[in-house]
Structures are given as structure tokens and as C-alpha cells.
Amino acid sequence: MSHPSAPIEVERKFVPGPEVEDHLLTLGAVLQDEMKFQDSYYDSPDLRLTLADVWLRKRADSWELKHPLVRGARGLNGTSTQYQELNNEAEIICRVSEELGVPCPHNLESLQLEEFARFVTTRRKFLLPLDDNSNHKVVVDLDMTDFGFAVGEVEVLVQTKEEVQSALVKVDDICKKLGVFSISPVPGKMSTFLKRNREEHYRKLLEAHVL
Ligand SMILES: Cc1ncc(C[n+]2csc(CCOP(=O)(O)OP(=O)(O)OP(=O)(O)O)c2C)c(N)n1
Ligand SMILES: [Mg+2]
């Protein structure tokens, strides 16, 4: 089920061409940050989290959980994604144990989950100026992984499900203005990592229509 307080991340990935930064600057985007971070993703041996499209990761020593808005649904909607992101460890522990069907433990370590992916991302984060009275902050991330994969994403965070549709329209519109709109889903870092390094896991997620 959706979590009342966690923001909803509406995102669309794109293939970043050499001219994308120029187009961003033309749209008035400002480079907000350049960062490097390692992500470690975890699941049960029988993949109960990722097969439910629930993504538990440790980023810069903090636990984070991304899950679809509606439990049992997928967060991939056509070619964009809508996920809630939890950052509070107590909430993450409850959501993960609920998904695994086990009692809520004191910490995640006691669930004996296994790391199935680990990679480093170098990210240039741009902020686009607000162009309407929605006050939705629009972020554009340009990512490069340590396994040589580049992907961009336009992201709008909203607070309620009612705002998702307008956020989807905005994300699509910005991709079109940047000249990076794709009618087919653009693979992300995770699906590319799994395809190259965890074929069986990747195949199972394809079969479950998670990826
Ligand atoms: C195009 C697409 N992306 C993700 C998924 C599934 N999925 C949902 S979350 C998720 C885990 C990775 O989330 P993603 O946004 O790709 O990574 P990143 O950009 O580093 O995280 P952020 O900094 O944005 O929080 C996946 C694979 C999918 N089925 N299709
Ligand atoms: Mg993302």
C-alpha cells in the first residue's frame, strides 16, 4: 500500500546524448551537484523483494527502499516509473518484513538478506526552473556507472497520488524539450547491471514483468 508521508518519485529515463547538457542549460537548468555514490542492493535468496518490484539498497551508509505506489502493482507504467522512496530505517524494516511475510525485526541485518548488486554512480544533478505554479521541483540526473553505463532521468517528486498524472505529463514534456524522449522504456543501471552480471535474476524479473 502507499505510504502516507513518503514522496512519490515520478521518473523517466533517457539515453543522454553529447548535447544534452547544452540543451539543459538552454532550458535554464543549473548544475546543482556532482556526486559519487555506491549502491548495494539486497534481496532474500528467493528474490521475494525484487520479484515484488521492491528495491532495498544501502547508499552512502543509509538504507533506502523504493516500492511501487500500489502493493503488488508495478512501478513501471508504460515508459516512466512511479515509486515511493522510504528513508526511515524503522519504516523500511516494517515494509521489508511485511513483503517477506516475517515478523518485524529490530534491524535489517537480522533478516539475512543477500547483496545481489553493487556499483558506483557518478551523478551530475541539474535543477530546472519551475515553469508553472505547481511548485514541483524538477531534477535531471546524468549518471555514469563504474561499469561504463550512462543513463539520464527526469524526476519530479510529488506528495499525493492525485499529482502523479500532471507530473507524468511534465516529465514527458521536459524529455521532449531536451530531445531525449523515447516511446520505448530506456534500461536503467540496475537492469543493465543484472543483464550483464546476474542473468538468472534478470531473467526471473523479466518473466515477472518487473523489468
Ligand atoms: C525503467 C525502469 N526503471 C526501474 C525499474 C524497476 N526499479 C524500480 S527502482 C529500481 C532500483 C533502481 O532505481 P533507479 O531509479 O533505476 O536507480 P537510481 O536512479 O540510482 O535511484 P534514484 O537515485 O533515482 O533513487 C528499479 C530497478 C523498472 N522496472 N524500469
Ligand atoms: Mg532513478
pLDDT at 139 over 80: yes
The cell 499529482 sits on which residue?
163
Q: How far is the CA of 111 from the centre of ligand 2 (A)?
A: 26
- Which is more confidently placed, 3 or 87? 87
pLDDT band at 146 (very low <50, low <70, confident <90, very high): very high
C-alpha grid cell for residue 197?
A: 552480471
Distance 67 CA to ligand 1 centre (A): 10
Give the integer Cα–Cα distance in Å for 75 and 79.
Answer: 10
Counting from 1 in the atom list of ligand 1, the atom nearest the Cα of 189 is: 16
Quick: pLDDT tens for 100-136: 999 999 999 999 999 999 999 999 999 998 776 667 8
Q: Which residues does ligand 1 sit against, CB inside 6 Å?
A: 13, 55, 66, 75-76, 81, 83, 121, 153, 185, 188-190, 210-211
ipTM: 0.94
Confidence of residue 1 (pLDDT cuts 50, 70, 90): very low
* Nearest CA among 201, 202, 167 for reference residue 83: 167
- The ligand placed nearest to the CA atom of residue 205 is 1
- Confirm if 102 and 95 have CB atoms less than 8 A apart: no
* CA-nearest residue, atom 23 of ligand 1: 141
**Across 143-149, average pLDDT:** 98
Q: Residue 44 — φ and ψ, nearest 5°?
A: -75, 160
Over range 5-18, report the average pLDDT: 91
